[in-house]
Structure 1
């Protein structure tokens, strides 16, 4: 999968949020907030093809977490990203 073009991570008032670029795309009901680890992953996979395993490996490199916990978190994160429409297969 890949991140969709036109969506960028921004820090707004101390919050990491994904917003659509371009004035015509602004819909404040569709801003997606990300915690530190989700924002880290988003930044790492920009413009590359990635899988759940890619994200798991990135979490394991950056954080002290078990593979099982990382896999659970990644699966939930991918589901959220897909539901929000910010990634594509």
Structure 2
């Protein structure tokens, strides 16, 4: 998976938000607020990490089991795909 060009993660008033830049402003009207774990996964997507690498990251950062981590990553990725912020490559 890869983040589409024209989207950046920013800290605004203590919140992690994904904002569109340039021409993306027309396509994506608004911003998306991310939780702490969502921002962590976004930063991992910036490195072109795989879903398995994101699962491993959640396992090292949080006290959760593998199934929960996998479900969280799958939900996050689906949400980003549904919002057209990332693409499969």
Q: Same fold (TM over 0.5)?
A: yes
Q: Does 1:21 align with 2:8?
A: no
Q: Does 1:44 align with 2:44?
A: yes
User: Is there any run of 5+ residues in structure 2 with no aligned partner, and where?
Assistant: none
The C-alpha deviation readout for 1:47-83, integer Å capped at 9, x for no partner, is 42x3321211111121111101101111111110001
Q: Does 1:72 align with 2:76?
A: no
TM norm structure 1: 0.84
Moved over 6 A (4+): none
Q: Is the 8 A contact 1:3 1:88 kept in 2?
A: yes
TM-fit CA distance, 1:27: 7.5
Distance 1:2 1:45 in 2: 6
Q: Number of matched residues?
A: 88
Distance 2:11 2:44 in 1: 16
Give 1:34's aligned residue.
34
